Amino acid sequence: MVNPASLFQLGIDLAQPPKKAQAEASGTEVNNVTAGPWPMPAVADDHFITRDGKCYAGTHLILDLWGASRLAEIDYIRRALIDAVEAAGATLLHIHLHHFTPNGGVSGVAVLAESHISIHTWPERSYAALDIFMCGGADPQKSVPVLEMAFQPTTLKVEIFYRGAFP
């Protein structure tokens, strides 16, 4: 049996019907957008993106860089992330990077108003894994050439996901 209190803590209240049902019961008109498991009301300034006839929360890029360089240089990595944020037209809020020993790997995140860029490096394997997720007007794909130039990988793999898009 599912504990309703646990679901409420996750933001799911079984006692409350979806907003559309509430609006219909009260006779209130709701402007609905099909963007989830049920039609949801349109929200001004929710930073969802509408491109090519598709509405979604944001674009999430997963990057694998093989044969990459400068992956143990924390100040260089910080500058590369700042340059990637600027290229994407995003707003940097904070960067936190941690330098591991003895291999010199770096893990960290650039927290953005539009979401984040995270990085994890394995210099002993010349490998870096990055996640770039952005909503609103920022374009994460513009950060890819900046990161490619910074780390000079021999192989770059990019996967693109449209988060929050309802099939």
Active site residues: 115, 120, 135
- Span between the terminal Cα atoms of the chain, in Å: 30
Residues 6 or more apart whose Cβ sits within 8 Å of residue 149: none
Q: Compute, in degrees rounded to 10, the torsion defined by CA atoms 32, 91, 113, 121.
A: 120
39 vs 48: CA distance, rounded Å: 15
